[in-house]
Amino acid sequence: MKKARAHFPKIKAIAYEGPKSTNPLAFHHYNPDEVIDGKTQSAHLRFSIAYWHSFRGVGSDPFGPGTIVRPWEKGTDAISIAKTRLDAAFEFFQKIRAPFYCFHDRDIAPEGKSLAESNRNLDRVVAHAKDLQKATGVKLLWGTANLFSNPRYMCGASTNPDAHVFAYAAAQVKKALDVTKALGGENYVFWGGREGYETLLNTNLKREQDHLATFLHLAVDYAKSIGFKGQFLIEPKPKEPTKHQYDFDVASGIAFLRTHGLEKHFKFNIETNHATLAGHTFQHEIEVAAAQGLLGSIDANAGDELLGWDTDQFNTNVKELTLAMVSILRAGGLGQGGFNFDAKLRRPSIDPEDLVHAHIGGMDAYALAFKLARRILAEGKFTKFLQDRYASYDAGFGRDIEKRRVGFRDLNKLVLGKLGEPKPRSGKQEYLENLLNSYLHG
Ligand code: XLS
Ligand code: NI
Ligand code: NI
């Protein structure tokens, strides 16, 4: 890719130099080619770059315009700019050693004056993306449609009170599924940014939720009709931009999927910052999804403890990620999902090199967490602790409870008879916290 090399001239392909290296432009924990259990680290971690942040984000916020100017963003023809931007992006994907990327339809190609024109734009840019994928081996982790930026979606897409907007959104997602399939996308994501409400004064909540379910059923039907084999994912978020989103968190997402008979077709794409906005930890959301076999993929980022919105920062919190990784590995991994860096640079981080530092930090933190979690699970101390803590359910009347072989009368008889008063046992939280720290700082 001779031409592409021009966009990040100062950056060489990032190499693994080990934890002792002081080179900030090297990996210290992420060693993509290292084989662990018959698979490379790169294949275990399936890192992905989020096109919208890393190649469309300019650092704008509600108080001011963008600050980030990229040298490749020049020219007057929107399609050729979009193609050059893709060249820059694929050069970056290769240099940062990311095997995947993700996009919204409107990230990669400009929206036209009509849906037909938008579709034509998309086709032209997607053809280029296909060539770049082929030339570099970088693959599409997931595609999605932007159903939240255009003013037509101000009151929602599939939950819009106007059926015309529902129809438009359906047509847009139809095309997004076509291009995701054409590019070999392994998943397709629904994030309902405006599928919620600002006030119940103007909202028929039940009808809107039913419409959302209908929309998802139509997507499943269409995907089947074109032979799209990717996994559908729902990405819960409690709020922002709407005051209240219908897929608030994983638990309400599960209830929604089950209520509407969608649970066989969807899994969850869990985003760290969305988890914390919903008042949960990242690990909590992973455990809730995994408990139902619905863990699909991860949007890897972090919020700010002091700010109440989706700040989408790169996550360098090894403790949080180690806990998350323990839960993910215990659940058997992410399958065809991956870790997508749905994270953006801070507004003053304006150098192309900052994009590199940001992803090195995120990848290294995840790779380190992956290794620590593997050690924690291999040594089995936490696993053993949990087994012991619930051991009373492994035999006797405990087992009968789990098997639903006893009723209140039987248990009443037992307690009044030989069982008597239970003997309290310590939960040992502080011991366990120290044990965790011994891995993090050992
Ligand atoms: C926004 C979401 C969005 C989705 C894709 O908060 O995280 O970026 O991941 O539409
Ligand atoms: Ni996201
Ligand atoms: Ni988000």
Atom of ligand 1 nearest to the CA of 52: 8
Q: Taking Cα atoms as reference points, which of 224, 198, 197 lies closest to residue 209?
A: 197
What average pLDDT does this structure show over 30-37?
98
- Per-residue pLDDT of 119-145, as tens digits, reads 999 999 999 999 999 999 999 999 999
- What does the pLDDT read at residue 200? 98
Which residue pairs from 107-116 have beta carbons closer than 8 angstroms and sit at least 24 positions apart in sequence?
A: 107/51, 107/52, 107/55, 107/56, 107/146, 108/51, 108/82, 109/79, 109/82, 110/78, 110/79, 110/82, 111/150, 115/168, 115/171, 115/172, 115/175
What average pLDDT does this structure show over 316-334?
98
Q: Does the beta carbon of 342 lie inside 6 Å of ligand 1?
A: yes
- Per-residue pLDDT of 147-164, as tens digits, reads 999 999 999 999 999 999
- What does the pLDDT read at residue 434? 98
Burial class, 265, CB count within 10 angstroms (exposed 0-12 / middle 13-18 / buried 19+): middle
Atom of ligand 1 nearest to the CA of 271: 7
Q: Does the beta carbon of 195 lie inside 6 Å of ligand 1?
A: no
What average pLDDT does this structure show over 410-429?
98
Q: How confident is the model at residue 270 (pLDDT cuts 50, 70, 90)?
A: very high
Q: Does the beta carbon of 144 lie inside 6 Å of ligand 1?
A: yes
Q: Does the beta carbon of 246 lie inside 6 Å of ligand 1?
A: no
- Per-residue pLDDT of 58-93, as tens digits, reads 999 999 999 999 999 999 999 999 999 999 999 999
- What does the pLDDT read at residue 131? 98
- The residue to which tokens 């629904």 are assigned: 190
Rounded distance between C-alpha atoms, residue 348 and residue 67, angstroms: 7
Q: Is the pLDDT of residue 2 over 60?
A: no
Q: Is the Cβ–Cβ distance between 190 and 232 less than 8 Å?
A: yes
Rounded distance between C-alpha atoms, residue 95 and residue 89, angstroms: 10
CA 135 – ligand 3 centroid, Å: 30
- What does the pLDDT read at residue 308? 87
Which residues, 6+ apart, have CB-to-CB distance to 8 below 8 Å? 88, 91, 92, 95, 352, 356
- Per-residue pLDDT of 208-235, as tens digits, reads 999 999 999 999 999 999 999 999 999 9
CA 312 – ligand 1 centroid, Å: 9
Residue nearest to atom 8 of ligand 1 (CA): 342
Which residue pairs from 255-260 have beta carbons closer than 8 angstroms and sit at least 24 positions apart in sequence?
A: 256/209, 256/212, 256/213, 257/294, 259/213, 260/210, 260/213, 260/216, 260/217
Residue nearest to atom 10 of ligand 1 (CA): 191
- What does the pLDDT read at residue 1? 45
Of 49, 52, 54, 194, the residue with max ligand 1 atoms within 8 A of its CB, to mutate for a pocket test, comes to 52
CA 204 – ligand 3 centroid, Å: 26
Rounded distance between C-alpha atoms, residue 224 and residue 232, angstroms: 12
What average pLDDT does this structure show over 200-208?
98
What average pLDDT does this structure show over 197-208?
98
Q: Is the pLDDT of residue 4 over 80?
A: no
Q: Which ligand is nearest to the CA of 298?
A: 2
Report helix, strand or coil for 103: strand
- DSSP output for 46-59: -EEEEHHHHHH---
Residues around ion ligand 2, judged by CB within 5 A, are 271, 299, 342
* Catalytic sites, residue numbers: 104, 107
The torsion of the CA quartet 356, 362, 367, 371, rounded to 10 degrees, works out to 150
320 to each of 9, 135, 250, 262, how far by Cα in Å? 35, 36, 18, 31
Encoded amino acid at 410, one letter: D
Residues around ion ligand 3, judged by CB within 5 A, are 271, 310
Q: Is the pLDDT of residue 176 over 60?
A: yes
What average pLDDT does this structure show over 158-175?
98
Q: Is the pLDDT of residue 189 over 70?
A: yes
Residue nearest to atom 6 of ligand 1 (CA): 310
Q: Does the beta carbon of 178 lie inside 6 Å of ligand 1?
A: no
